[in-house]
Amino acid sequence: MLQVMMKKQLADFTIDIQFTVENNILVLLGPSGAGKTTILRAIAGLLRPDTGTIIHNERVLFSSTARTFVPPQFRHVGYMFQEFALFPHMNVRKNIWYGVKQNDNKAKELYERLLGLLHIEHLTTRFINRLSGGEKQRVALARALMAEPAILLLDEPLSALDSDTRLELQAELKKIQGIWKIPFVLVTHDIAEAKALGDQFLFLEKGRQVARPAFRPSEFCQCQSIELA
């Protein structure tokens, strides 16, 4: 379980949010500049909230009162950036293995499993500039999962893809989350994508949860909204 309660002063408003995510997919929705990516960065440890707590399975990642701040490299959080952040001078295999500390049999088995799950076995020797958008998406996801994260953050991971590839990868993301059974926190502007992927929803406007008549999670089959304290 991931628990987030945080305030962070930005240039134009203050993020003031509280939510809990079980081992499922939480979708953050809202207009550009609403604070969605800031929340991801706070969970990852790439920025420090002004006040609050971030706790995963009783492990305190951040607490303003206890003055606890776990650095990003020790949080076991995978972060898939919108622009993928792949290394163009490395081939696919080296990109996926980048940052893996133990090159043991367990890691090799995970690598082979990810190649199969994401259908990228044939791409391992290619360099990034020879990949399509969908292939880059799969490689970036494989690299994020190769680190065996306890939490996976995805910042508009499918926004640059064509509709057919997007639908295919939505299904793969849902399948992988069901296998990994860890909290996924996903940012999107696309309500159809949110409906396809989300188990929980949080709509943000200027850093706060808001209700939006056009987006009612109760309309979605087998989905639930987040109850904030």
Eight-state DSSP code of residue 182? S
Task: Find, among 27, 4, 71, the residue nearest to 177 by Cα.
Answer: 27
Average the pLDDT over 188-211 and give the result.
88
Q: What are phi and psi of 138, to 5 degrees?
A: -65, -40
**Region class of 126: left (phi > 0), else alpha (psi between -120 and 50), else beta:** beta
* CA–CA separation, 20 and 183 (whole Å): 10
**Mean residue pLDDT across the chain:** 86
Q: Is the pLDDT of residue 33 over 60?
A: yes
**What is the pLDDT at residue 37?**
93
Average the pLDDT over 67-85 and give the result.
89
End-to-end CA distance of the chain, in Å?
16
Give Cβ neighbours of residue 53 (< 8 Å, ≥ 6 apart).
3, 4, 5, 6, 60, 62, 63, 64, 65
User: What is the number of alpha carbons within 13 Å of residue 159 lying toward its C-beta?
Assistant: 15
| Domain boundary assignment for the chain | 2-76+152-225, 89-148
Instruction: Pick the most confident of 79-83, 151-155, 217-221, 223-227.
Output: 151-155
Tens-digit pLDDT profile for residues 123-159: 999 999 999 888 888 898 889 888 889 999 999 877 7
Identify the CATH number of the domain defined by range 2-76+152-225.
3.40.50.300
Average the pLDDT over 75-84 and give the result.
84
Q: What are phi and psi of 200, to 5 degrees?
A: -135, 155
* CA–CA separation, 160 and 77 (whole Å): 23
| pTM assigned to the model | 0.84
Tens-digit pLDDT profile for residues 5-22: 999 999 999 999 999 999
**What is the pLDDT at residue 60?**
98
**What is the pLDDT at residue 18?**
95
The 3-state DSSP class for residue 166 equals helix
**What is the pLDDT at residue 46?**
96
